[in-house]
Amino acid sequence: SKPRVAVVFGGRSSEHAVSCVTAGSVLRALDRDKYDVVPIGITTDGRWVLERDEPERLVIQAGRLPEVDEKGTAVVLANDDERGLVCLDPAAGPTALGRIDVVFPVLHGPFGEDGTLQGLLEMAGVRYVGAGVLASAVAMDKHYAKLILQANGFPVAPYTVITRRAWETDRAACQEAVDSLGYPVFVKPARGGSSIGITKVRQRADLPEAVEEARRYDPKVVVEAAVLNAREIECGVLESLDGGRPEASVVAEICYDTEYEFYDFQAKYLDDETHVDLRLPADLEPSVAQEVQDMAIRAFEALSVEGLARVDFFLREDGTLLLNEINTMPGFTPYSMFPRMWAASGLDYPSLVDRLVQLALRRPLGLR
């Protein structure tokens, strides 16, 4: 029988709607001759529900953002020795949904991209697309990601961490640590994405407000020295099907109008390409592009990422690279950077989706 793929989407993070749009694209792209598909939504308050298989509903229509339909049948996940993951419909009983062979977590941010869902699936003995527990958690946390990257010799921007306790009990020490970075700085929720909660701070006096803004999303805050006049460069990485070295995509550059302070939420999602220009491939010396691809693959391996990742860099005026971040579930609509980088590398969207499911199906269960 055909492998059954559960596409899990929505979720509790601030990126719920983005996730729904992506799920619509993934549902459309999955080859129904090859796979049985089970759409499962997670509502904004964390309930799991069986969704109708209607990708056409999961689009932005007349400015209205899609969300998970709460009225779907509630599902709970239970471990079943024989059949792996079973979705229990409390009304219909334990075999209502049957075996799931692969979960495709189309979720961004905390409780989805950060290892928590991955841990649940590991416990239940179910294969899933993308990075495992540790890699997901490390990549999501800008503090720990830097520690691991630095320990592996990758250049990162100077930074300091403001924990909840430090901010609440020793404000002066926090202020001093930030001052010593020099201004401007970028203030970020440690575990965030889509630029949500990030502020560029030009002077000391504006720090507290920016830290409070970041703390709306995460009690832990990372403050980074601004990398000035840098170009923003991105590279996609995919695990190889034969277990060999991961593969890097064509390298891309993001260019945006100088009216933007930085690549913020507005620039990422709300404005069109008259303001934001995704250059594919980036106009780079071949040796620089190759260095980006090589670093992207090495970073993927340093964090033991599986499946996919988008690795983001700053290219400074002197030609040196800094590694900004690794996203283990990057934006994934057909218009997003990651699929576009792969399309430009010869792998179209349906093939990319298929490759990720195939990688997950081949993965051994248990410790890898």
Instruction: Using CB under 5 A, list all residues that contact Mg ion.
Output: 193, 325, 327
Task: Decide if 34 contacts 2 (C-beta within 8 A).
Answer: yes
Q: Which of 121, 227, 250, 326 binds ligand ADP (CB under 6 A)?
A: 227
161 contributes a contact to ligand ADP by CB under 6 A = no
CB of 263 to ligand ADP, least distance (A): 3
Token pair for 231: 């170009």
Instruction: Report the DSSP pairing between strands 102-106 and 127-128.
Output: parallel
Smallest distance from the beta carbon of 322 to ligand ADP, in angstroms? Answer: 8
Minimum gap (Å) between residue 324 Cβ and ligand ADP = 5
The DSSP output letter for 75 is -
198, interface contact from Mg ion, ligand ADP, none, CB < 5-8 Å by kind: ligand ADP
Binding residues with ligand ADP: total (CB under 6 A)? 17
Rounded to a whole number of angstroms, the minimum distance from the CB of residue 106 to Mg ion is 16
Of 4, 146, 188, 340, the residue at the interface with ligand ADP (CB under 6 A) is: 188
Least distance to ligand ADP, CB of residue 237, Å: 16
* Closer to Mg ion by Cβ: residue 12 or 268: 268
Q: How far is CA 81 from CA 85, 99, 124, 190, 224, in A?
A: 9, 11, 9, 37, 47
* Residue 193 binding ligand ADP, by CB under 6 A: yes
At 223, is the secondary structure helix, strand, or coil?
A: strand
Q: Which of 232, 239, 253, 306 binds ligand ADP (CB under 6 A)?
A: 232
User: What are the backbone dihedrals phi and psi of residue 84, each rounded to the nearest 5 degrees, phi first?
Assistant: 70, -135
Give the nearer residue to ligand ADP in terms of CB position, either 247 or 312.
312
Shortest spacing between CB 62 and Mg ion, in angstroms: 29
Among 135, 226, 252, 308, binds ligand ADP (CB under 6 A): 226
Q: Which of 288, 289, 259, 261 is nearest to 274 (CA)?
A: 259
Q: Report in angstroms how near the CB of residue 120 gets to ligand ADP at its nearest.
A: 23
Q: Is 273 exposed, middle or buried (0-12, 13-18, 19+ CB in 10 A)?
A: exposed
Q: Is residue 331 at the binding interface for ligand ADP, with CB under 6 A as the rule?
A: no
Min dist CB 280 to ligand ADP, Å, is 17
- For ligand ADP, the closer CB: 130 or 193: 193
| CB neighbourhood size of 228 (10 A) | 9
Q: Which of residues 300-329 bind ligand ADP (CB under 6 A)?
A: 312, 324-325
CA distances (Å), origin 6, targets 185, 203, 204, 250: 41, 48, 48, 30
Phi/psi region, residue 267 (left: phi>0; alpha: psi -120 to 50; beta: rest), is alpha
Residue 192 near residue 216 (C-beta atoms within 8 A) = no
Q: Please tell me whether residue 19 binds ligand ADP under the rule CB under 6 A.
A: no
Of 29, 124, 134, 157, which lies in the binding site for ligand ADP, with binding defined by CB under 6 A?
Answer: 157
CA distance 250 to 2: 33
Helix H or strand E encompassing 27: helix 16-29
Interface residue list for ligand ADP (CB under 6 A): 157, 186, 188, 192-195, 198, 224, 226-227, 232, 262-263, 312, 324-325
